[in-house]
Chain A
């Protein structure tokens, strides 16, 4: 069969679609004829890196994805874990890096919109959002503009939609100068027996288009996100979608109402590659064909071509396979919410993706092959050479410990993020039990319940760069530790893997190393990967970002009344160090912020110790023996203590004498460690439990007083700490710096 083709398919046109010559040959072999321009567009949408995972799939398969708590692993819109009482948590994290660099407000806003849709497509009401943001050097002329745009875009969408944005990360590093990262996380709650999937069943069932109208925005968005940037990044602005959180809120309410009416066979949101990707996925998963009649697609503009409709990434749209007898019910729900509802096609038994426009055939492709036969690459990789050891004895101690501490907590990467999270509504829905600024955010599952979920997103890109395997392990371990530090049982993760160009063996080596580390830590901690996203080609003019595999962790708190926060609560409590003293200064914040060096190996992660120490801390919290808890991460023990003091407005006196290794004890970023505040009555019991479980634990001081005092090394008032911690970001954003 041939389809008349008005537009000649030239080598240039193929290249413009991001399809390599050998990939084009694969298309010719697959369909046995020259594709139409619409078909070429469909292949480019399905076979780009963003949608097909062609460079990463082979490695993603090595990650652990199963566990008794896992209801649904990777491959659906989001991952699902069991949280007891017939409820599940549905969650995922996804990048919107490329669009957020080109157009920061809309790029970030639609990133939030996309991830929320992934969650409610499965029947879950979103209860929390987070984000991991990375920007270039603060001194770079574009950085301030990007921070402002991204933060207001995240807030503008989430605030209006009505989901609390409860946590995240913000980091600056020159490697992100040409490629900032916007990773958006969302989690929702559903009943275990009311989860909705994308798999279509039944022949001749109506396929219904829901939500907003289709416009010309976002065409080739996914293709754009699958290539590196050159000097022309700005010219790609038309590929960025425009978000409408109001429509998304209506779509949420309409979809949940519809799902409760027993009308839905399958449902899939239109995200990357829009109508193409959603229709192919529903058909391919169900082993069915799909026929679409595009003249029925609600369009925002007149005269849209089949090509444009199939590739538009207009937001706030869904595709659904409907129980035919429920059409009137479903239509009434969508009309009530003022949204479009249009039957645009039907399922068939042909396994063909058949597209018609006013009766003319525009595409006729084998549906399974569109997804399954996408190229898959085992790209050559070059492992990162292990860094030379850097013993603490080779690292200078600070001349002034107080000044070093204030430099770190007042610097771009460890200062307060209040300027950011105060622009996010982190309280809407009334269930935020632990607000931003602690180790993990805690949100209870509903207005009445004492059951809560803890959320944290973590990665240390500088560790991953120096040693991808240890860095990958550390990202997972830190997410696990942050959940543990509030008293939660870690359940599972979503991973958002941001890397440079995988066609370069050294970048592929970073990717492979990180994946291996992530997998190892997930297995050791029973913390499987249930969803995720890969963002490659984060490069501009051949310069890649630091490897940044962001890990979003979810944990369960059966009783939020037993949760811990980082704030010192009262004077005279024992300050207990769990996990031993710091020794490791390679890749540390101290090295970077105080000495201006970024060398050495990252701290190694002993996963067995991580688990032992964490289990002890969680148990102590749940038994009510701990009044404050904080994990030790960037900046070491001294920064953890300062943060606990600031959060509680109570100082502490720490009994560490001056010694040649004091800088390693205070600034070392050794893993698997916590600081606890423990009422005196519980101290002995805690130390006994620790000894019985082979966990190092030691009383190092006492809470109280107006200052943080450490031996004779430093004494800084809590007020001075606050001032240093809060100043930098607002001053930077108001262009005072």
Chain B
């Protein structure tokens, strides 16, 4: 698998992501500066976590207008896999590649801790290595992960199997207590209509090495590697 991580000023989880991609595919990803206007030929484009442009306007809003973004959007529409994690998910909603928005956490505080996720759809290039309904444990680390969309959009996402991961407790029950940020319907990650763009708030890349405390994030990357 050939992959590229887009580096924005203020991105800070590109190293975690690069290590995870290497663990899953054996290859180092390319690192592409946000100021580029073209992209190398890759199977996967990653928009990583961090605080692009300090998140000073709205999280991901300035990055969504970076010089590299028109090409990312063009590739996404042409079917290249795109993964946006945390700040990357926020960029994907800001570009309109994914519906909805990510608001301030309901607690109004930044939250960093392990959460449980229920893998709701394993028929995607990002989740095929998980078993249906599997409960996984990965960390979140964000201040603005509260997913919001109108009811019609949410119904449509659910109906089309595009809610890929949902916050749950360790038994798989979707509860308010298990939801770290107030996201509607416990939504942690969603797909675009074509199924090649995934945005999610949790950090699977930080749970891909047994020394990090678990391997539950790794199948996400091996799924992409086998689909590519």
Residues of A contacting B205 with CB < 8 Å?
430
Q: Are A250 and B112 in contact (CB under 8 A)?
A: no
Residues of A contacting B15 with CB < 8 Å?
429-430, 447
Q: Which of A589-644 contact B (CB under 8 A)?
A: none
Contact of A160 among B51, B206, B209, B212 (CB under 8 A): B51
Chain A nearest CB from B33 CB (Å) reads 8
Q: Are B141 and A425 in contact (CB under 8 A)?
A: yes
Cβ-based interface call for B96 (8 A): no
Cβ-based interface call for B13 (8 A): yes
Cβ-based interface call for B103 (8 A): no
Cβ-based interface call for A422 (8 A): yes
Q: Are A427 and B141 in contact (CB under 8 A)?
A: yes
Q: How far is B112's CA from A433's CA once the two chains are assembled, in angstroms? A: 15
Q: How far is B20's CA from A156's CA once the two chains are assembled, in angstroms? A: 26
Contact of A246 among B9, B18, B206 (CB under 8 A): B9
Q: Are B211 and A246 in contact (CB under 8 A)?
A: no
Contact of B51 among A245, A424, A430, A444 (CB under 8 A): A245
Q: Are A159 and B19 in contact (CB under 8 A)?
A: no
Size category, B interface: 20 to 34
Q: Are B12 and A432 in contact (CB under 8 A)?
A: no
Residues of A contacting B143 with CB < 8 Å?
159
Chain B nearest CB from A392 CB (Å) reads 40
Q: Are A162 and B13 in contact (CB under 8 A)?
A: yes
Known pairs A160-B51, A425-B141, A560-B211; A337 contacts B9 (CB<8 A)? yes
Residue-wise interface mask of A (477-508) relative to B, using a CB-CB cutoff of 8 A (1 in contact, 0 not): 00000000000000000000000000000000
Residues of B contacting A422 with CB < 8 Å?
109, 111-113
Nearest A residue to B18 by beta-carbon distance? A447
Residue-wise interface mask of B (191-206) relative to A, using a CB-CB cutoff of 8 A (1 in contact, 0 not): 0000000000001011
Chain A nearest CB from B180 CB (Å) reads 9
Say which one of B38-46, B52-60, B126-134, B218-226 lies at the interface with A: B52-60
Q: Are A250 and B19 in contact (CB under 8 A)?
A: no
Q: Are B111 and A423 in contact (CB under 8 A)?
A: yes
Cβ-based interface call for A428 (8 A): yes
Q: Which of A177-199 contact B (CB under 8 A)?
A: none
Q: Are B206 and A249 in contact (CB under 8 A)?
A: no
Residue-wise interface mask of B (89-118) relative to A, using a CB-CB cutoff of 8 A (1 in contact, 0 not): 000000000000000000001111100000
Q: Are A428 and B13 in contact (CB under 8 A)?
A: yes
Residues of B contacting A433 with CB < 8 Å?
211-212
Residues of A contacting B211 with CB < 8 Å?
433, 444, 450, 560-561
Cβ-based interface call for A426 (8 A): yes
Nearest B residue to A160 by beta-carbon distance? B51
Q: Which of A218-248 contact B (CB under 8 A)?
A: 244-247
Residues of B contacting A711 with CB < 8 Å?
none
Contact of B16 among A155, A337, A424, A428 (CB under 8 A): A428
Residues of B contacting A425 with CB < 8 Å?
110, 112, 141
Cβ-based interface call for B26 (8 A): no
Residue with the highest number of chain A CB atoms closer than 10 Å, among B10, B13, B113: B10
Q: Are B109 and A338 in contact (CB under 8 A)?
A: no
Cβ-based interface call for B139 (8 A): yes
Q: How far is B109's CA from A448's CA once the two chains are assembled, in angstroms? A: 32
Q: Are B51 and A427 in contact (CB under 8 A)?
A: no
Cβ-based interface call for A527 (8 A): no
Cβ-based interface call for A152 (8 A): yes
Nearest A residue to B49 by beta-carbon distance? A428
Chain B nearest CB from A212 CB (Å) reads 12
Residues of B contacting A448 with CB < 8 Å?
19
Q: Are A424 and B13 in contact (CB under 8 A)?
A: no
Contact of B206 among A152, A162, A421, A427 (CB under 8 A): A427
Q: Are A249 and B112 in contact (CB under 8 A)?
A: no
Residues of A contacting B35 with CB < 8 Å?
336
Cβ-based interface call for A455 (8 A): no
Chain B nearest CB from A94 CB (Å) reads 22
Nearest A residue to B205 by beta-carbon distance? A430
Known pairs A249-B10, A560-B211, A561-B211; A427 contacts B55 (CB<8 A)? no
Known pairs A246-B56, A427-B139; A162 contacts B112 (CB<8 A)? no
Cβ-based interface call for B182 (8 A): no
Residue-wise interface mask of B (2-22) relative to A, using a CB-CB cutoff of 8 A (1 in contact, 0 not): 000000011011011011100
Cβ-based interface call for A161 (8 A): yes
Looking at chain B's contact residues, is the secondary structure mostly helix, strand, loop, or mixed?
A: mixed
Q: Are A162 and B12 in contact (CB under 8 A)?
A: yes
Q: How far is B139's CA from A244's CA once the two chains are assembled, in angstroms? A: 26
Q: How far is B111's CA from A337's CA once the two chains are assembled, in angstroms? A: 29
Q: How far is B17's CA from A253's CA once the two chains are assembled, in angstroms? A: 18
Contact of B50 among A156, A162, A444 (CB under 8 A): A162
Q: Are B54 and A245 in contact (CB under 8 A)?
A: yes
Q: How far is B103's CA from A177's CA once the two chains are assembled, in angstroms? A: 36
Q: Are B16 and A160 in contact (CB under 8 A)?
A: no
Residues of A contacting B50 with CB < 8 Å?
162
Residue with the highest number of chain B CB atoms closer than 10 Å, among A152, A162, A432, A444: A162
Residues of B contacting A435 with CB < 8 Å?
213
Contact of A423 among B16, B53, B110 (CB under 8 A): B110
Known pairs A423-B110, A423-B111; A428 contacts B9 (CB<8 A)? no
Q: Are A159 and B206 in contact (CB under 8 A)?
A: no
Chain A nearest CB from B158 CB (Å) reads 29
Contact of A428 among B12, B20, B113, B213 (CB under 8 A): B12
Nearest A residue to B180 by beta-carbon distance? A422
Nearest B residue to A155 by beta-carbon distance? B110
Residues of A contacting B209 with CB < 8 Å?
430, 447
Residues of B contacting A426 with CB < 8 Å?
112
Q: How far is B56's CA from A250's CA once the two chains are assembled, in angstroms? A: 14
Chain B nearest CB from A15 CB (Å) reads 41
Q: How far is B51's CA from A156's CA once the two chains are assembled, in angstroms? A: 11
Contact of B19 among A155, A424, A447 (CB under 8 A): A447
Q: How far is B15's CA from A432's CA once the two chains are assembled, in angstroms? A: 13
Q: How far is B210's CA from A444's CA once the two chains are assembled, in angstroms? A: 13
Residue with the highest number of chain B CB atoms closer than 10 Å, among A155, A428, A433: A428
Q: How far is B212's CA from A450's CA once the two chains are assembled, in angstroms? A: 12
Chain A nearest CB from B154 CB (Å) reads 28
Q: Are B12 and A161 in contact (CB under 8 A)?
A: yes
Residues of B contacting A336 with CB < 8 Å?
35
Known pairs A160-B10, A249-B10, A444-B211; A427 contacts B112 (CB<8 A)? yes
Q: Are A246 and B51 in contact (CB under 8 A)?
A: yes
Q: Are B9 and A430 in contact (CB under 8 A)?
A: no
Residues of B contacting A447 with CB < 8 Å?
15-16, 18-19, 209
Q: How far is B141's CA from A425's CA once the two chains are assembled, in angstroms? A: 6
Residue-wise interface mask of B (51-75) relative to A, using a CB-CB cutoff of 8 A (1 in contact, 0 not): 1011110000000000000000000
Q: How far is B53's CA from A170's CA once the two chains are assembled, in angstroms? A: 32
Q: Are A246 and B54 in contact (CB under 8 A)?
A: yes
Q: How far is B109's CA from A484's CA once the two chains are assembled, in angstroms? A: 34
Chain B nearest CB from A692 CB (Å) reads 33
Residues of A contacting B54 with CB < 8 Å?
160, 244-247
Q: How far is B19's CA from A155's CA once the two chains are assembled, in angstroms? A: 25
Q: How far is B68's CA from A541's CA once the two chains are assembled, in angstroms? A: 57
Residue-wise interface mask of A (538-567) relative to B, using a CB-CB cutoff of 8 A (1 in contact, 0 not): 000000000000000000000011000000
Residue with the highest number of chain A CB atoms closer than 10 Å, among B109, B211, B212: B211
Q: Which of A141-174 contact B (CB under 8 A)?
A: 152, 155-156, 159-162
Q: Which of A640-678 contact B (CB under 8 A)?
A: none
Residues of B contacting A421 with CB < 8 Å?
112
Chain B nearest CB from A397 CB (Å) reads 39
Q: Are B112 and A423 in contact (CB under 8 A)?
A: yes
Nearest B residue to A419 by beta-carbon distance? B109
Q: Are B203 and A338 in contact (CB under 8 A)?
A: no
9 A-B pairs, CB-CB below 8 angstroms? A155-B110, A246-B51, A422-B109, A422-B112, A422-B113, A424-B110, A427-B203, A429-B12, A430-B13
The 3 closest A-B pairs by CB, nearest first: A162-B12, A246-B54, A430-B16
Question: Besides the contacts A161-B12, A422-B112, A428-B16, what 15 more A-B pairs have beta carbons closer than 8 Å?
Answer: A152-B109, A159-B143, A162-B50, A244-B54, A245-B54, A246-B54, A247-B54, A250-B10, A422-B109, A427-B206, A428-B141, A430-B16, A433-B212, A435-B213, A447-B18
